[in-house]
Structure 1
């Protein structure tokens, strides 16, 4: 026997052909993941960034209240949406905030409205400030996972298209 007869070559099969239905559902999934990533950037990141800016100067505010506040838990992921209203000498400041964090908690949250006296438009809550690092890590993990999944899916689609076109030619 010769040396070339002992060598085994890997058997490569082209990926199964993807019909329009598979392509549609793949693209639909990518759009949905992209929408979740945009939602993180639009609704969760801005309150988080402003909380980092006022974390050392925020104080409880007596003339403030929470309206439309609601928290929900999905296993260990907590999502709190609320509108914070603060009366100032120049008028009322209303700010819609979204707070996303992880943890194990059963029951209600008691919160106080907090604001930086120099920047009352950056009104927040003690819950948001107490969980600042948790919120930051949670956002980075969720956004990073979504972005990695989108990139991996696009790369797989491109790789499968190239392999399919290479098998035909």
Structure 2
């Protein structure tokens, strides 16, 4: 009886699947990630930028109201959406503000409406101003991670397509 202990068997791997179905699923996932990146740019970045502009001059706004507000927490990521109304001599300023930050918190948030007297159109909340650095870093990390994943996936798709067409030809 002979054993094949000394005999090396080649390891056979299945050929890589380069079908269009996989490519379409990958593109669908990339489109979803790109939509999240666009949402960061459209809904989260503008309030962060405007809060940096008024961070030193914002004061509690008399007569301002929070007409709609909701915060949700996903593990350590907090998402707060509020609609702020500030009466001014030229009419009411209504602004919907999206605040995204990280941290541990249990319970409700109490907020005050804040505004720069010289720029009442940039009405915000004390919660948003208190967590300005946190919000900035959270936005940069999330947007950077999404962009990196999208670029890496596109590069991998191109490499796989080239390797697949090179193996065929």
Q: TM-score, normalised by structure 2?
A: 0.91
- Where do residues 49-88 of structure 1 align in structure 2 (5 Å cutoff)? 49-88=49-88
Cα RMSD of the aligned pairs, angstroms, is 1.4
Residue equivalent to 2:35: 35
1:85-104 Cα offsets, whole Å, 9 max, x none, are 00011110000110000000
Shift of 1:14: 9.3
The gaps in structure 2 that reach 5 residues or longer are 1-10
Structure 2 CA distance for aligned equivalents of residues 135 and 15 of structure 1 = 45
CA distance 1:15–1:83, change in 2 (3 Å): farther
Deviations 1:26-78 (A, max 9, x none): 00000000000000000000000000000000000121011110000000000
Query: 3-state SS of the aligned residue for 1:34?
Result: helix
Return the alpha-carbon distance in structure 1 between the equivalents of residues 111 and 148 of structure 2: 35
Contact 2:66-2:84 at 8 Å conserved across structures: yes
Does the 8 Å contact 1:14/1:163 carry over to 2?
no
Structure 1 distance, partners of 2:107, 2:15, is: 50
Any idea what the Cα deviations from partners look like across 1:110-165, whole Å, max 9, x if unmatched?
00000000000000000000000000000000000000000000000000000001
Q: Which residue of 1 aligns with 2:138?
A: 138
How far apart, CA to CA, are the structure 1 residues paired with 2:76 and 2:18? 37
Aligned residues: 158
Structure 1 segments (4+ residues) deviating >4 Å: none
**What pairs with 1:1-169 in structure 2 (closer than 5 Å)?**
16-169=16-169
* Alpha carbons 1:14, 1:164 under 8 Å: kept: no
- How many Å separate the matches in 1 of 2:67 and 2:28? 35
The alpha-carbon distance between structure 1 residues 58 and 157, as it changes in their structure 2 partners (threshold 3 A), is same
TM-score (norm 1): 0.91
Q: Secondary structure at the match of 2:142?
A: helix
Greater mean alpha carbon deviation, residues 64-73 or residues 19-28: 19-28
Contact 2:18 2:164 in 1 (8 A): no
Deviation, 1:18, is 2.2
